[in-house]
Amino acid sequence: MSKSKLEYIWLDGYVPTANLRSKTKVEKDFSGKLEDCPVWSFDGSSTQQAEGGSSDCLLKPVAIYPDPARKDGYLVMAEVLNADGSAHASNSRATIDDENDDFWFGFEQEYFIMDTETQLPLGFPVGGYPGPQGLYYCSVGGKNTHGRDLVERHADMCLEAGLNFEGINQEVACGQWEFQIFAKGAKNAGDQIWVARYLLDRLTEEYGFYIDYHPKPIKGDWNGSGMHANFSNSTLRTAGNKETYDKICEAFRPVTAEHIAVYGEFNDQRLTGLHETQSIHEFSYGVSDRGASIRIPIATVESGWKGWLEDRRPASNADPYRVAARIIQTVKSADA
Indicate whether 270 and 161 sit together in one domain. Answer: yes
Domain that holds residue 18: 3-93
The CA distance from 111 to 226, in Å, is 8
Note whether 171 and 43 are same-domain residues: no
Regarding whether 71 and 14 lie in a shared domain, the answer is yes
User: Per the structure, how many domains does the chain have?
Assistant: 2
**Percent residues over pLDDT 90 in the chain:** 97
Query: What tens digit of pLDDT does each residue of 272-286 get?
Result: 999 899 999 999 999
Do 321 and 174 lie in a common domain? yes
> What is the pLDDT confidence band of residue 336, given thresholds at 50, 70 and 90?
confident
Q: Residues 110, 232: one domain? A: yes
> Looking at the domain assignment, is residue 37 inside a domain?
yes
pLDDT at 256: 98
Residues 293 and 178 both lie in one domain: yes
Is-contact 298 307, C-beta < 8 A?
no
Concatenate the DSSP letters of all residues of 170-239 into one string: E-SSTTEEEEEEEEESHHHHHHHHHHHHHHHHHHHTTTTEEEE--S-SS-SSS---BEEEEEE-HHHHH-
For residues 250-267, average pLDDT: 98
Same domain (yes/no): 117, 54: no
- CA dist 334 → 14, 187, 240, 327, 331 (Å): 32, 21, 16, 11, 5
CATH number at residue 153: 3.30.590.10
Determine how many CB atoms are found less than 10 A away from the CB of residue 268. 15
Q: Does residue 287 have a pLDDT over 90?
A: yes
User: What is the tens place of the pLDDT at every residue in 18-51?
Assistant: 999 999 999 999 999 999 999 999 999 999 999 9
